[in-house]
Structure 1
Amino acid sequence: MRRLHLLFVVLLLTAVGLSVAWYKYDTLGFPLTPDRETETWTVEAQIAVDPGTAPASVRFALPSDPPHYTLLDEGFVSRGWGLTTQSSDRQREAVWTKRNPEGNQTLYYQATVYRDQEEIQPSPYPGPAAPPKLEEPLKSAAESFVEEIRAGSADIQTFATLLVKEVNASRPDENIAAFLKPDATETERTRLAIRLLAIARIPARMSHGVMLTDEGRNLTPTTWLEVHNSRRWVPIDPRTGTVGYPRQFLVWWHGDQPALTTSGLEDVELTFATTRNLRDAVETAQLQSTIAESRLMDFSLLDLPIDAQNTYRVLLLVPLGALIIVLLRNVIGIRTFGTFMPVLIALSFRETQLVGGVVLFTLIVALGLAIRFYLERLKLLLVPRLAAVVIVVILLMALISIVSHRLGLDIGLSVGLFPMVILAMTIERVSIVWEEHGPGDALAQATGSLVVAALAYLVMVNTYVTHLFFVFPELLLVVLAFTLLIGRYTGYRLTELFRFRAFKTLAQARRPEPTGNDRPGEPR
């Protein structure tokens, strides 16, 4: 029963830790590797206005939940103008106003977007479109044309595609020729497609946007067609009938109205400019999580002050170092002085580097051990003896730093990063093991502690590991699960297989040889 209970706890911790980490990676976009950058785009709309004498107002459509993209940030530059933003029918707009405008001026709107979706999200069905009112014979011609398209289509998407291709044909069907002027613009052809789709009761609308190009200047919006297939809006190129927006197309606004409407102005000009940027992937994921209002980010370490973040970048590695020590001690069989001493020494190696840290640690422990044996002759009590060892350790650390500085060796200056209490306890522990079990056992445990600390350092200093546990601290639940699981391991350790190899050889040597009277399969 206890074994099943432990297995359930291990599976639960592992499932929770991996599920939260996967959600942050797959949904919120947090990267698994450090120094990863994401591609973001900055789009700037420039509105050049030439005001008259009357009070002026400018209404400008703003992007709102564009397909395939997330709006990370936006800003306005409009010196001397009043600014308000408002939303209606899923369309946002900015309104600039000024009572006494003077001279040519330019209003700016800047948005930063990030592509995070490969598929257009489902949207509510707006209901069947209301057919337009047409007079005869145009009504009969339009209905006949719609029936011909319906006969050659399989669903709403193919119906709209065939209709657009026919509207843009060099020789259009005679039933719709009366609807088209010889020099009809793309916008007029799109309006006609929407009217014909309405006769078939298919909801359709215009969409307008800009192509995201690196260092793009003086860009003008492009018109597209969207039809609703009862699940989502499907974009269709009104020129070719191609389904789907281009990868770098950013939808800015919907509807048959222009993006810019003004009053009290003599002249106005709207242009777009785009540029490509690279932003830290963690920062992008944070902004995206804030926009998505994810409650999980309320408990994120990324919102802590920088000093606290740097502290937890180190502290979160301590459980991982403890797991490494558990593996090396309980499964491999390496003997060490305690559990946390090698972890703390490994953390010190992060500042002193591995080789220099091992040299300094060995030197201080050796010198301190020699003085500890001298203190043993003084027959001191335990607490005063430990206090004396701490004082000696500090003096040794200061002496090594001064001598190395005089010799021009910077490595000695980092000796102060070692935890002096741990050094003092290590010296005391080595001396006790030396006296009780001999120098061989003491040196074996000291060497094992250094080996374990070095291996833990190599894992904990890895930038990928540091990033992974700081961005996904829920992975510590998985570390805890493995630690609990190893805690029930009672089998042979790897080193014991070599220690007791002589017993196996001896048992094989003492096994009697079978005689000629022995029959196979019969007990002797």
Structure 2
Amino acid sequence: MTSRLPFYLSVALLIVVGLALSIIRHDTYGVPWTPGETRQVWDVEATIEFTANGSEVKVSLAAPETQSGFTLISQSSSSSGYGNAIIDTDSGHRAEWSIRQASGPQKIYYKTQFLVDPNAQVVPVPPAETEDLPAFSGPEQAAATELIETALARSSDDITFARELIKTLNDPDSQSTALLLNNKSRATLLYELLATSQIPSRLVGVIELEDGRRRQTLQQMVQVWDGSHWQLFSANSAQTNRNHNLLIWDASNVSLLDLMGGQNGQVYFSMIEQDITPQQATSNKINADGLLNLSIHSLPLQEQAMFKTIMLIPIGALIVVFLRVIIGLKTSGTFMPVLIAVAFVQTQLIPGVVGFLLIVGTGLVIRSYLSKLNLLLVARISAVIITVIMIISAFTVVAFKIGLTQGLTITYFPMIILSWTIERMSIIWEEEGAKQVFVQGGGSLFTSVLVYLGMTNSYIQHLTFNFFGLQLVVLATILLLGTYTGYRLSELKRFKPLAED
């Protein structure tokens, strides 16, 4: 006897792989397990204002990148007459605009779109090995040394040193702090003290995201390298900043705006929040990451719409297998109910059931006449197909004339399958009687309705379309059902007298 172990191992492997693929898709691309959820997207627009001198103008703006918590999904520019490009420099991405001649007030708009993404893939860039040390004057050097030594004595590593240094900078009784803050902002002073202490750090420009905010300017903060990641600190708070509404726009540690051929350059930021569907979020993230993605979302929208229905067919097949193998329900044809259910999805349930009954009922009457002609099988089936087409055409025209627009969807029924169904039911009528026709026809219609309810369930539609790995789980379940050889539930009544004996 052949061992069943390899079979059960294969089924277990299908289930594990299917669930693993689904979990990876959820964790990597943020696809939710349930429908109706939304993803948050921030539209952030930078407005550059300056006065051109009447000659060549070149504008360079620090451009943001994908970062922890945010995935950059799009960027665009609106600048009449200017050439535009996004370039990579040693200090990071920058957006550049140029024009041969411009004069007077100028405005340039640079728009970005960020997806709030806890799973954003970011590889931390270590700090440069060599940095120029800031210079302090005589009294300032003594004050800086005092602050550094105080923080050093109270710390054990770079992060705790930065934290203690911030506490000292916010001490209102510290005369050294008051002296150093005469000509510098607190964030700049913090960065210079860290640099003097040979601790890798950088100044960054941060935007606080707030829906509907206009003409916001960057806040200066400091990032400190902990050996593997950059930790963000505000010079006004000793706590590591983990505010999820903070977006790092400028991490160049050089300059936010470089302007040639103009003066009085200013940059203001406006932002707005919007919610998008998980499908949109997943598609945007795939395009932004540029990753090899084998999901349906990588296809054009037309093909995605087609596969959205196709991926429901395995669910229908699972329902049919369960009803036939476990329940023992009889149907006319094995998977004809699945195809009829697909038609119901297009026509809606009530119009679909009425149309199915009208077509099959009328077809049986005409097929009973064809049986008297003693035609060959191929000719008889061909005649039934043509008859079904004529019936559908006639019902569609009548429905349109009397104003029943839902009747127009009857054309979605699979004509060849209906023709074979009518042929099969006609033969059963002749060989086994009308009762079996009603039993199998009713079983087919009942199965089609159940499959339709499964296919139109929002949770099932969401899972089958977004998690391809679940198809492997469905396949494994069907294989397990295929090994069942016990009594069907419908057979319990027939064998009840034996159980009583």
Aligned to 2:73: 72
Q: Name whichever of 459-468 and 142-151 sits farther off.
A: 142-151
2:487 is matched with which residue: 464, 485, 492?
A: 492
Name the counterpart of 1:239.
Answer: 236
Cα distance in structure 1, aligned partners of 2:463 and 2:470: 8
Is the CA contact (8 Å cut-off) linking 1:120 and 1:232 kept in structure 2?
A: no
* Residue 16 of structure 2: aligned partner: 15
1:152 aligns with 2:154: yes
Report the equivalent of 1:111: 112
2:169 maps to which residue?
A: 167
1:208 aligned to which of 205, 208, 211: 205
Q: Who is 1:344 aligned against?
A: 339
Q: Is 2:367–2:426's contact at 8 Å kept on the other side of the alignment?
A: yes
Indicate conservation of the 8 Å contact 1:66/1:252, yes or no: no
Alignment-mate amino acid for residue 77 of structure 1: S
Give the aligned partner of residue 83 of structure 2. 82
* Residue of structure 2 in register with 1:24 after alignment: 25
Residues 64, 90 of structure 1: 8 Å contact kept: no
1:89 maps to amino acid: D
Which one of the candidate residues 427, 445, 448 is aligned to 1:453?
448
Matches of 1:256 and 1:314, distance apart in 2: 51
Corresponding residue of 2:392? 397
Question: Offset of 1:408 from its aligned partner?
Answer: 4.3
1:121–1:232 Cα contact (<8 Å) kept:
no
Larger mean CA deviation between 84-93 and 129-138 belongs to: 129-138
1:282 maps to 279
Identify the match of residue 433 of structure 2 among 433, 438, 452. Answer: 438
Say if 1:224 and 1:104 are closer, same or farther in 2 by CA, change over 3 A. same
Single out whichever of 479-488 and 308-317 deviates more from structure 2: 308-317
Give per-residue Cα distances to partners, 1:145-194, cap 9 Å, x unaligned.
Answer: 4343233334432321121111121111x5x358524x455x2x333323
Letter in 2 for 1:235: L
Change (3 A) 1:287 1:351: closer
| Structure 2 residue ranges without an equivalent (≥5) | none
d(CA) in 1 for partners of 2:97, 2:296: 39
Cα separation, partners in 2 of 1:256 and 1:164, compared to 1, 3 Å: same
TM-score, with length taken from structure 1: 0.86
Secondary structure of the residue that 1:216 maps to in structure 2? coil
C-alpha distance in 2 between matches for 1:433 and 1:283: 50
Q: Deviations over 1:190-249 (max 9, x none)?
A: 333233334543212211122222221121110111111112111111012231143221
Q: 1:420 aligns with which of 415, 420, 445?
A: 415
Separation of aligned partners in 1, 2:189 and 2:398: 89
CA 1:292 to 1:90, structure 2 compared with 1: closer, same or farther past 3 Å? Answer: farther
**Could you say if the C-alpha distance between residues 132 and 417 of structure 1 is closer, same or farther in structure 2, counting changes exceeding 3 Å?**
closer
- Following the alignment from structure 1 to structure 2, what is the Cα–Cα distance between the partners of residues 81 and 411? 54
Contact 2:232 2:240 survives alignment (8 Å): yes
3-state SS, counterpart of residue 444 of structure 1: helix
- Cα distance in structure 2, aligned partners of 1:255 and 1:369: 78
Name the counterpart of 2:247.
Answer: 250
Partner of 1:429: 424
Structure 2 CA distance, aligned partners of 1:414 and 1:52? 67
Distance (Å, rounded) in 2 between the aligned partners of 1:419 and 1:59: 61
Contact persistence 1:218–1:273 (CA under 8 A) = yes
Across the aligned residues of Structure 1 and Structure 2, the Cα RMSD in angstroms comes to 2.8
Please point out which of 383, 386, 399 is paired with 2:381.
Answer: 386
330 and 118 in structure 1: CA distance in 2 versus 1, 3 angstrom threshold = closer
The Cα shift of 1:118 comes to: 7.3
* Identity rate, percent: 36
Kept in 2: contact 1:17–1:477 (CA 8 A) = yes
Q: Secondary structure at the match of 1:7?
A: helix
2:330 corresponds to: 335
Structure 1 residues 136 and 5, CA gap change in structure 2 (3 angstroms): same
Pairs aligned (count): 499
**Distance change >3 Å, CA 219–CA 477, structure 1 → 2:** same
Cα 1:421–1:141 shift into 2, 3 Å: closer
- Give the match's secondary structure for 1:426: helix
Match of 1:217 among 188, 201, 214: 214
Query: Are residue 317 (structure 1) and residue 318 (structure 2) matched?
Result: no
Shift of 1:303: 4.1
Partner SS, residue 66 of structure 2: coil
| CA distance, structure 1, for counterparts of residue 400 and residue 80 of structure 2 | 59
Cα distance change, pair 160–122 in 1 and its aligned pair in 2 (3 A): farther
What residue number does 2:95 align with?
94
> Quick one: distance in 1 between partners of 2:355 and 2:145?
91
- CA distance in 2 between counterparts of 1:52 and 1:402 reads 73
Taking the aligned partners of 2:375 and 2:159, their CA distance within structure 1 comes to: 92
Alpha-carbon distance in structure 1 between the residues aligned to 2:121 and 2:144: 31
Q: Which amino acid in structure 1 is aligned with residue 168 of structure 2?
A: E
Measured in 2, the distance between the counterparts of 1:374 and 1:447 equals 23
- Range with bigger deviation, 441-450 or 85-94: 85-94
Instruction: Kindly indicate whether the alpha-carbon contact (under 8 Å) linking 1:210 and 1:249 is maintained by their aligned counterparts in 2.
Output: yes
| 1:45-71 Cα deviation digits (max 9, x unpaired) | 111221224433222211133442111
The answer to whether the 8 A contact 1:53-1:101 is kept is: yes
Shift of 1:301: 2.9
* Offset from partner CA, 1:339-360 (integer Å, 9 cap, x none): 2211111111123322332233
In the TM superposition, what is the alpha-carbon distance from 1:74 to its structure 2 partner?
A: 0.7
Contact 1:86 1:93 in 2 (8 A): yes
* Residue matched to 1:193: 190
